[in-house]
Amino acid sequence: MTSKKDFVRLSVITGPSGVGKGTLVQKLRSLYPEVWISVSATTRAPRPGEIEGENYFFLGNDRFKQLVDTGGFLEWAEFTGNCYGTPRRPVEEKLQMGRPVLLEIELEGARQVRKSFPESFQIFVAPPHFDELERRIRGRATDSEEAIQSRLDRAKEELKAQKEFDAVVINDELDATATELGQLMGLQ
């Protein structure tokens, strides 16, 4: 029997803010250079050290809305007061070229992708403990207390949705978790 991972080229990683998805995705990129990782657009302000076009495309609200209205996003969602979206064209191009594509997005976006790409492989990254998640979210000194609370509330909601996913991976040790993800996605 063929398992889902044998033919799927579009994978989605979702998990609560602070679970370490970003670091995990970078590790995955270094272990499996064949995978193409989508760069999202966002209306959130850049954090120190974030680079335009590498971490995100940082857009104003008007430009973001224009792209929503013209179908420029494969999916998009609002997350704690800002908008985030996956530019459609680069993803479609890479998939057409047969390259494995990975989206690192939040829950609402993952649900939209599930509808438009039912064959996508959806992975949920969970923390070993909620306390650890809170510690990491609070550790981002650049976020206001309001933003922190909002991310913690959203994290609780996202954790409840784990069962909707094809696989749940617990991020307890970076290298091992990245390797597990690569294997689940059928990467080499």
Pick from 79, 121, 124, 165 the residue near ligand 5GP by CB under 6 A: 79
Calculate the CA 73 to chain-centre distance.
15
Interface positions, 141-170, toward ligand 5GP (CB under 6 A):
none
Pick from 32, 101, 106, 124 the residue near ligand 5GP by CB under 6 A: 106
For residue 163, which of 134, 126, 136, 188 has the smallest C-alpha distance?
Answer: 126
Q: What DSSP assignment string belongs to 76-114?
A: EEEETTEEEEEEHHHHHHHHHTT--EEEE--HHHHHHHH
Least separation in angstroms between CB 186 and ligand 5GP: 22
Q: For ligand 5GP, which stretch binds (CB under 6 A), given 101-109, 117-125, 165-173, 176-184? A: 101-109
Q: Six-digit token pair at 131?
A: 């306390």
Least separation in angstroms between CB 6 and ligand 5GP: 26
DSSP 52: B
Pick from 32, 64, 84, 117 the residue near ligand 5GP by CB under 6 A: 84
For residue 57, which of 29, 79, 87 has the smallest C-alpha distance?
Answer: 87
Residues that bind ligand 5GP (CB under 6 A): 17, 21, 40, 44, 75-77, 79, 84-86, 104-106, 108-109
